[in-house]
Chain A
Amino acid sequence: MVYENPDGVMIGLEIHVQLNKLATKLFCGCSTDYHTSEPNTHVCPVCMGLPGCLPVLNKRAVEYAIRIGLALNCEIVEQTQFHRKNYYYPDLPKGFQTTQYDYPIVSDGRVVIEGEDGEHVVRIRRAHMEEDPGRLMHMGSIDRSRGTLIDYNRSGMALIEIVSEPDMRSPREARRFLDKLRNILEYLDVFDSTLEGSMRVDANISIGGGDRTEVKNISSHKGAERALLYEIMRQKNIKRRGEEVVMETRHFDEARGVTISMRTKEEEHDYRYFPEPDLVPMRVGSWVDGILETLPELPDARRSRFISDYGMVDTHAKALTSVIRVADFYEEVASQVDPAAAAVWVSDVLKGELNYRDLTIASFTVEDMVKIIELVVSGKITEKGAVEIIRSILDEGGSPMDIVKEKGLLKVEGDVVDQAVEEVLKENPEALEDYFAGKEKSLNFLVGQVMKKTRGRADARSVREMMLEEIDKNYR
C-alpha cells in the first residue's frame, strides 16, 4: 500500500531540546539543576551577560551534540563555529544569542519512523547548538500585566535545535517522528523529557505545494498533532475560497486549539549574524570515532536484539524497546523469570494497564512484576488473578502476596476441583445429554458451573480437561 497524501501535506519540524543532563550550562560553570530552585539563584556574571564576561564552551555539551548527530545518522562537522544572532528581548541578557549558523555541529541525517504506509524516512537537515534565554514571568496575563519578572536560571542552558526536512505527510507522522526522536534522545541519556520545557517544537506546514506557515509555541507531541490538523483545515479553507496561503509565523493557542497570525514574512527580523569573536573554533572531527564507540544501543538495534535474544515476536519487541525505561524494565524482569512469559506480561498486560491509567513504567516495580509472573508460572494463581493483582497495585498499592491473601486468589486444590466437577455433572444431566448430542457449547456451560463453584480460583483450561476425563471415565 502506498500513502496517497491527498492534500499534498508537507510538514517539517524544528525541535529545541534542552541538554538538561549536562551538569553545567553551555558557556559557564553554573549548575543546570535549577528546576526546583528560587529564581535567579543559578546565575553568574557570564549567564547574566554582565559587561566584560566571556563565554567558554562546555566540551561535554559538544560531545552530547555529536552523540545526537551520530544517533540521527548525521555528518559531523570538522570544527565548531559559533555565531551571534542579534535581537533585543528582555530574556536575552547579552542582546544576542550565541548560536550556530552556517557550520552546524551535525547535518544531513535520517530517522526511520512508522509512516502512513509502513517504514518512512524523515531526513534531518541539521542540528545546531545554542544557548537558552532566560524565562519571563508576567504578573497577571500577558496583555494586562502589572509587570514582568525575569528568571535567568535557564539563561545559558545548552540547547540543540534539530531541523528536519519537510518529509512528514500527516500530523500523525509528525507526532510519530517526535515520539521517536524523544525516545532516541532518552536512549542517549542527554536529556530528561520530564522536566518542563525540555523539548519545544516549531512546525512548518504547506499543502498542495503552496507557501508554508510556521507554527510556534507547541509544547507537546499531542499539541503538535492538533496544531497541524487545525492548520491543514485552515489552509484548505483558504484554497477552497480561491485564495493563497500567506507565508507567515503563527502562534498555537493550546487552550482553544487554533493558530493565530504573529507576523508575516516582511516583518521577519534581520538577525545580522556574524562569527562570535570570543569563541575560537574547537576541532572535533577526531572525537567522532571515540564517541561512536561509547554510543549506547539505540531503539531499532535493541528491537532486533530482543527478537534474537528472547525469541519474542516483533510486535512485542517494538512495544518493549521504544521507550528506554520500558526496555530496561523488561530486561531486568526477563533476567529473573522466563523471558517469553515476561514479554507477554510486560508488553501486553502491564503496558495496557499503565496506558489505561495514563501512567508510566515508573509506577511499577520490577520486583512486583517478577513475583507476579513467578506465581502464575508455578500455578499458584490464575492469569486472571495476576491481572487483578496488577490492577490492584496500580489503583490501591500494596504487595502481590498481600493482595493474594486479601483477595483469596490462591488457586484451589485439585480434589476440590475434582469434587466440583463430579457435582456439576451429577447436577446437570440435561447439559451432559446435550453434549453427547453434539452440542459443544454445553461443555462450556458445564465448565462455567465448575468455575462458579470454585469462585474463579480454578484454571478454566484444566477444568475442561478434567471434565472430559471424568465424562470418558464414568459417563460413557
Chain B
Amino acid sequence: MLDGLSDIRIKIGSSSAEDVVAFYLERIEKSDINAFTCIAEDAIDQAKKVDSLDIEGPLAGVPIAIKDNISTKGLSTTCSSAILEGYVPPYDAHVIERLRKAGAVIIGKSNMDEFGMGTSTETSIYGPTLNPWDTERVAGGSSGGSAAAVAAGQVPVSLGSDTGGSVRCPAAFCGAVGLKPTYGAVSRYGLVSYANSLEQIGPLANRVEDVAALMDVIGTYDNRDSTCVKHDTGYTDALQDDVEGLKIGVPAEYFGEGIDDNVQKLVWDAIGKFEDMGAEYTKVSMPNTPYALAAYYIIAMSEASSNLARFDGTRYGTRSEGENWHMMVSKTRQEKFGAEVKRRILLGTYALSAGYHDKYYLKALKVRTLVKQDFERALGDVDVLMAPTMPTPAFKIGEKMDDPLSLYLSDINTVPINLAGVPSISVPCGFSEGLPVGLQVIGNYFDEATILKAANTFEKNTDHHTKLAGAVV
C-alpha cells in the first residue's frame, strides 16, 4: 500500500523533508510512464527550506505534482502544447500560492492532453502517459499525468483540473481518488482556461482523506476569481466513517447503452456495500442526460475558441516566421497547435458564428439549464447520486485516436456534472480484468462534505485502494 500524507508526515518527522522528496524524485527518475512534463530543479531546495526553517504547514515537505496548465512562477507551464514551449509564468496560481504557504514541495508539472482537450493524455506534445496498471493502456485524461503519478507512487498527491471529467476519468482509470469540486469552490486564478464556465482545479490522491486535506489548503476564497464563492472549508472535519441513513440516488440514465457490464456490476456491488453499511438507495430519473454530451462539447469548444485566441505567438511561447503579423499568427497557430485543439477551435468558432450562434451555442445553454434542473430535482430527494465514473476501464493507447466521436462518448457520465456545476468524486470500487474501475459519488452544490464522507466510509470498509499498480517501482 502506498504512503498517504499521514505516513509521509511521520517519515519527515523521523528523517527530513529532503530525504522524502529525494525518495520520490528517484521513483520518478526510475519510472517510464511519462507522467511529468518537467521536474522542478529546485525541488530539493524547497525541501531543504522546509527542514531548515522548520515550516509547519499542513503539507510541510510533501511533494506534489501540478498539472501543466496551472501557472507556477519560475516553472515552465506548457499545457502540453508546442505553442507554449518555453513559457515560464511570472506569477503563481492561487492554488500554488496556497500550497507553497502550506509548505508543499512543487516537485514538477504533470502531463496532460494538450490544453486539457482529451480523455486519454494522448494529445500531449510530450506523448501519452502510460497507465500504471497496464502500460499498453491510457492513463485517462486530461489530467493523466497527475493520476498516474499518484497511482505509481511518484507523488502522494497531485492537482489536476476537471472541465468535463478530466480529474475523475484518469482517477478511475488509474485507481486513484479524484475530486471535481463545486464550480466556484476553488479559485481558477492561474489555471489556463480551456472552457472556463465548466472547469475547476481538483485534487488527486490514493486516499480520500488526502484529497480532503488538499481541499482544506486550496479551497479558500480568492477575490481574483470573480466566480469564486465564499463557503465553509472544513473538508477534513467532514470525514466521519459513517453513512447510516445516507440517501443514495441511482440515475438509470448513467447505466445505459455503452456502459460495460463489468463496470455496471462493480458499481452496483459498491452501492450494495453502502446498503450494508446503513445507507439506502432509490432509482432516480435524470431525463435530460442524453443531451448533455452534445451541449457540453458545443459550450466547451465555443469557450475554447475564444480562450485560446491569445496564443498568437506575439508575447510568449514559440512562434513561426511569417512575412507580416497576420501570417505569423496564422502559421504559429497552424504549426504549434495539435490536431484535436484545432478541431475544437474550429468547431467552437463555427458554433459561435453569426447564423449558427442561436442554433448551437444558445441551444446548448438551454440544454445546460435543463441538465442543471435534473440535478436540482434529483438532489432535492436524495443526499448523493452514484454512478460509474467511466463507461469502461482504461482502453488501449491509440485505440480511439482515429475516432474522436467514440472518445467524446467516453465522457458521457462525467460531463453532465460540469454542466450543472455540482461536486463529484471518483473512488476505486474494484477491478475488471486487472484494471481499476471508479465509482462516482455526486453531491449538491458546496456539499463536498457529504460526498467526501461517503467516499471515505466506502474506502475504510473496502480494500481496493490497498492494491499496488504494476508500475510502482
Contact = CB atoms under 8 A, between A and B. Distances in A.
B36 interface: no
Nearest to A56: B226
B197 interface: yes
A52 B192 contact: yes
A371 to B, nearest CB: 54
A95 B71 contact: no
A52 B193 contact: yes
Interface stretch (A164-172, A215-223, A277-285, A286-294): A277-285
B408 interface: no
B306 A274 contact: yes
A79 interface: no
Contacts of A56: 223-224, 226
Contacts, number: 100
Nearest to A281: B226
B225 interface: yes
A52 B190 contact: yes
Given A56-B224, A94-B309, A279-B226, A274 B352 contact: yes
A96 B226 contact: no
Interface in B2-50: none
Nearest to A91: B314
Interface string A1-13: 0000000000000
A180 B420 CA distance: 49
A56 B188 CA distance: 12
Given A90-B325, A272-B357, A278-B226, A52 B71 contact: yes
Interface stretch (B87-95, B233-241, B269-277, B423-431): B87-95
Interface string B66-80: 000111000001010
A51 B89 contact: yes
B303 interface: yes
A344 interface: no
B77 A96 contact: no
A95 B349 CA distance: 13
A55 interface: yes
Interface string B310-326: 11101110000000011
Contacts of A48: 315
B353 interface: yes
Nearest to A278: B196
Interface residues of A, number: 28
B303 A54 contact: no
A95 B306 contact: yes
Contacts of B306: 84, 86, 95-96, 272, 274
B114 to A, nearest CB: 13
A39 interface: no
B361 interface: yes
A54 B188 contact: yes
Given A50-B89, A278-B227, A279-B226, A95 B309 contact: yes
B361 A86 contact: no
Contacts of A445: none
A160 B390 CA distance: 48
Contacts of A277: 196-197, 227, 303
A267 interface: no
B151 interface: no
A150 B312 CA distance: 14
Contacts of B192: 51-52
B150 interface: no
A57 B357 CA distance: 26
Contacts of B71: 50-52
B84 interface: yes
B226 A272 contact: no
A88 interface: yes
Interface string A261-273: 0000000001010
Contacts of B70: 52
A45 B84 CA distance: 16
A221 B197 CA distance: 43
B1 interface: no
A53 interface: yes
Nearest to B188: A54
A272 B309 CA distance: 12
Contacts of A272: 305-306, 349, 352-354, 357
B191 interface: yes
Contacts of B361: 274
B191 A93 contact: no
Interface of A: 45, 48-57, 84, 86, 88, 90, 93-96, 148, 150, 270, 272, 274, 277-280
17 contacts: A45-B91, A50-B316, A51-B316, A53-B190, A54-B188, A54-B189, A56-B223, A56-B226, A86-B306, A93-B310, A95-B310, A95-B312, A150-B314, A270-B354, A272-B353, A272-B357, A278-B196
Given A52-B93, A53-B190, A96-B309, 14 more contacts: A51-B192, A51-B193, A88-B326, A90-B325, A94-B309, A95-B310, A96-B306, A150-B314, A272-B306, A272-B354, A274-B302, A274-B361, A278-B225, A280-B226
Interface of B: 69-71, 77, 79, 84, 87, 89-91, 93, 188-193, 196-197, 223-227, 302-303, 305-306, 308-312, 314-316, 325-326, 329, 349, 352-354, 357, 361
